[in-house]
Amino acid sequence: MTSMIRPKKREYHMTPSAIISRKWNQRNPDKIEVVKQRNKNMRLLVMDILGGRVCVTCGYDENTRALQLDHIDDKGHEDRYHFTNIWSMYSFYLKNPEITREKLQVLCANCNTIKQSENNIYQMSRREQK
Q: How far apart are CA 106 and CA 9, in angstroms?
A: 37
The conformation of residue 5, written as its DSSP 8-state character, comes to P
Contact 76, 130 (CB under 8 A): no
User: What's the confidence (pLDDT) of residue 130?
Assistant: 47
Residue 53 exposure: Cα atoms within 13 Å on the Cβ side: 13
What would the pLDDT profile of 14-71 be if each residue is shown by its tens digit? Answer: 777 778 888 988 999 899 899 999 999 999 999 999 999 999 999 999 999 999 999 9
Dihedral through CA 93, CA 96, CA 98, CA 102, nearest 10? -40
User: What's the confidence (pLDDT) of residue 129?
Assistant: 46
Higher-confidence residue of 130 and 86: namely 86
